Each structure stands twice: as C-alpha cells, then as structure tokens.
Amino acid sequence: MTVEQKHHMKLWPMLVAAVIFWTIAAGFFQNLSAGNDETYEGLKLFTDVVELVEKNYVDPVETKELLHKAIQGMVQGLDPHSALLPPEAFEELQVDTHGEFGGIGIVIEMKERFLTVVSPIEGTPAYKAGIQARDIIIKVDGQPTKDMMLWEAVKKMRGAKGTSVVITVMRKGTPKPIDFTLVRDIIPIESVRAIVLETGYGYVRVSSFSETTTADLETALAGLENGPSPLKGLVLDLRGNPGGLLPQAIKVSDLFLEKGDILSIKGRLEKNTKVFKAHPDSTGRNYPLVVLINGGSASASEIVAGALQDHKRALILGTTSFGKGTVQTVETLRDGYGLKLTIARYYTPSGRSIQAKGIEPDIEVRPMLPDEAAGDEQEEHLLKEKDLQNHLNAEPGPEDTEVEAGGNIEKTKNDEAQKPKRRQSRYRYGPLDIDELMADNQVKRALEILISYNIFQNVKK
C-alpha cells in the first residue's frame, strides 16, 4: 500500500525497482550520537569500504554511484516491496493510479527479455493503427529497446496528446520490422468493465484499483441493477488484478457490506495502526455474489476478497491468491525522488494475515481455457509473495529479514519481472466478449452456482 504524496495509501504488489538515489537527509546524521555505538561503528565501516573501493577498485568509480548502489541495496534488502524511486519511476507510479494519461494505448510486458505487446486497448491510437498482441517492440523513436527497463519504455511511449512517436515491431510471420507512427491521445484507464452473462446475471471485471474504480464500479452496477431484468446474481472478477489504491479497495468492499470491519492495518507506529469499517448503503445489494481470484490477484484485490469472504457476503472461487499482506507508504523526497517503504501488515475482518499465504478460495476451480492445454501447469508456476526473496512473514518476527535457506528466487532490478505472469493478459485487457467468457470454465462455474442458488431459494419458498 502506498501514500500518494505524503499520506495517500496505495497497494501495489510489484513495481519497477529504483536504481539511483543520492539524497541523504541531514536529520539522519543529527539523530546519530556517539552513544549509539552500533550505528556509529557501522557508519565507520561503511566509509572505510567506500574509500577502499574508490582507491583500489580495478576501474575508476564515482562516489555518487557507490552511494546509489549502497542505498539501493539497503532498501531492497528489507523486503520485495520497499524501493527507492528515481523521478521517472516515481512519476510512473503516480500516473498508474490516475484515471487517464497521454499515450498510445498498449499494455506491455517483458517476456523472455523482449518488450512484448500484451494487448492494444480498444479505441486507442495503437488499436486503430493495427498493433497486435504478441508484437515485439524493437525500437521506440529509433532507439533499440534491448536492455531497456520496462518503465523506461513506458515513459518513452507516453506523452502529451497530439505528439507523435514511432514504434517499430517484429511480428510473427512478417519478414521485416514494421514501423507505426502513432499520434498520442488521452488514454483512459478502464479498470472496470461489465456485461450481462445471462438474463438476470451480471459480470464485472475489475482489473486494478485506480482513483476512479469505485465510481466506475457504481456506474457499472447501476447499469446491471437497473436493466430490463432484476439482477439475481453477480460475478465479480478480480483475477490478475495486481492491486492499487487502498481507499478504493475499502470503498469497493463497502459497496457490498453494511456493517463490521473491512480491514485493519498494524504497524510498529501508532499512526500506522488503523481499522476501516463498513457503512450502511441506501442501495440494497442483496443479490448473491461470486468473486473470482487467482495467483495474480494481489494486495487491494485480496483485501476485497478477504473482507467479502469473512463476512460471508460472497463465495470465493478460483485458486489461491498472491499473498501480499503488507502496506507501503511513498514519501516524497527532494529532486523528484520517492521512497517506497513497508510500514504495516494488514488483516482481514476475522484477524487473518494473508501475507505470504494468500486468500484460499471457498471452491477451488483451476482454469482450463480452450486455447491453453497447459493451464494448470502455468497456474502452478505463477510467482507468489512467498517465492520472493526477503518476503515478510504473516506475523512480526526476527526471521522477517532473513533470506530463505536454499531459496533460488533471485530479485531482479525490474520488479515488473516478478509480477505473476498472467495467462489471460490479452483476454483481461481487451473488451469483454460473451463467447470468450462463456468458454471460461471459472466464469461458467460461478454462473452455475448463482443460478443454482436462486433455484434452491425458490424451492424453499
């Protein structure tokens, strides 16, 4: 979870890790005293090492670069979600939580070290130009993307409306690279999409938790609830949802709850210990609810699933979620830098910590999409919180900062590489298609449960 500017909390399972930071607050040194022998001796050792490296390393090195790497290692060694953010990465973090940005409209990922298009977003410049899923972007404005960080590529493709950018792609079956000259536009971040699966039964997909998610969800629900037929059941799809803003997760949960706790967070400091409660709503949403989760459901999506599960407001279906149960704050530093730091653990209404455990579904249903025969195997190999080096445990303890013995998960500089690789990336980011949804065995199972519930209710009457 994160704080926008100073006090706005967010939840992000993963983020592009920072690699440089050169500001050390003067107050840090003011708080040190000769009486703190351990700290004092440690700083002496640190300066000794810096001096020796500067004088004796085989190649010349800059002091600033050494300090960058030292601070980077210090923060990244705490846990997988703490990081120092250079201005570019800090800016991207803020953009990702807003409702729109200037760009070309594609979702990208690093796949086998290639910058790959997951999906063009419907109606955007990339979509209209014909960029396709699985296209490999080899150049942006003539600059090769080889060895480019993901956030660097994103920054180069984003920009003011009306400006242009040239994207060069390699496409399977096409012998030569293809150049696309795209004029940037305002790209809305559509985190909510809805459709009617069958008369009286709705489906809502929430792909992230940005500033507009609750309002967009209320609009989507109103469309389903005020349709030609009364809403008798809803499928809420949180699969592959990596998280987002904490307040949005709480408000989304509150849409379906009338009372009781939604979430509690507990940190070392009193200011980082809070309880968030549900409030009565004039809109009666008494219809049954099935929530879909998988190994890519993290942070904010786990808060929603955990709250609805503990209050027995929804049946949770799918596979165990990612297991990120920690809260991060982002402090704004000088010169555009930011510090993302873990400050608390969060707990579901029943007091459960899902850190490195995840939300276990009430009904386990593994994916079997028709175009993916190896779906089960891929699901099993999704990285989870418990797989990340230096992950925290569910409860505080001295072992929290230790690396797991025998662990073979290596932390990469690019946190995006640690995000669960979503099997349904193109499917999730594209427009809703009723045929694809009805071919999804998890969605079909959820719909069958809702229909069966209503049949049983009528039988009882």
67 vs 304, higher pLDDT: 304
Token pair belonging to 62: 């800059």
Q: Is the pLDDT of residue 15 over 60?
A: no
- Reported as a pLDDT band with limits 50, 70 and 90, residue 118 is confident
Is position 299 annotated as part of the catalytic site?
yes
**Domains parsed from the chain with CATH numbers:** 100-188 (2.30.42.10), 192-460 (3.90.226.10)
Q: DSSP letters of 329-387? A: EEEE-GGG-EEEEEEEEEE-TTS---TTT-PPPSEE-----TT-TTHHHHHHTS--GGG
Token pair belonging to 340: 């993302």
- Reported as a pLDDT band with limits 50, 70 and 90, residue 405 is very low
* Annotated catalytic residue within 253, 299, 321, 425: 299
Residue 166 DSSP label = E
Residues 6+ apart with CB under 8 A from 28: none
**Sign, CA torsion 86/90/93/98:** negative
* Annotated catalytic residue within 324, 340, 357, 384: 324
Q: What angle do CA 166, 18, 426 make, to 5 degrees?
A: 50
Is position 254 annotated as part of the catalytic site?
no
- Reported as a pLDDT band with limits 50, 70 and 90, residue 90 is confident
> Which whole-number Å values give the CA distances from 26 to 23, 44, 50, 83, 169, in the listed order?
9, 17, 19, 20, 48
Half-sphere exposure of residue 266: CA atoms within 13 angstroms, side-chain side: 11
Out of 3-17, 86-100, 159-173, 273-287, pick the least confident: 3-17
pLDDT digits (tens, 9 = 90+) for 154-196: 889 999 899 999 999 999 999 999 999 999 998 877 889 999 9
Q: Is the pLDDT of residue 114 over 90?
A: no
Distance CA 246, CA 330 (A): 13
* Annotated catalytic residue within 261, 310, 415, 440: 310
Distance CA 122, CA 124 (A): 6
Asked whether 1 and 328 are in contact (CB, 8 A), the reply is: yes
pLDDT digits (tens, 9 = 90+) for 374-389: 444 344 456 677 777 6
In this prediction the pTM is: 0.74
Mean pLDDT of 61-77: 85
Q: Hey, which residues does 28 pair with through a beta bridge?
A: none
73 vs 444, higher pLDDT: 444
Give the three-state DSSP class for 279: coil
Is position 425 annotated as part of the catalytic site?
no
Distance CA 179, CA 160 (A): 21
- Residue whose pair of structure tokens reads 């200011």 in the numeric block: 271
Mean pLDDT of 313-324: 96
Distance CA 130, CA 391 (A): 41
Asked whether 74 and 8 are in contact (CB, 8 A), the reply is: no
Distance CA 99, CA 213 (A): 8
Asked whether 64 and 335 are in contact (CB, 8 A), the reply is: no
- Reported as a pLDDT band with limits 50, 70 and 90, residue 419 is very low
Furthest CA-CA distance within the chain: 85
- Residue whose pair of structure tokens reads 């989870």 in the numeric block: 384
pLDDT digits (tens, 9 = 90+) for 199-229: 999 999 998 898 899 999 999 999 999 999 9
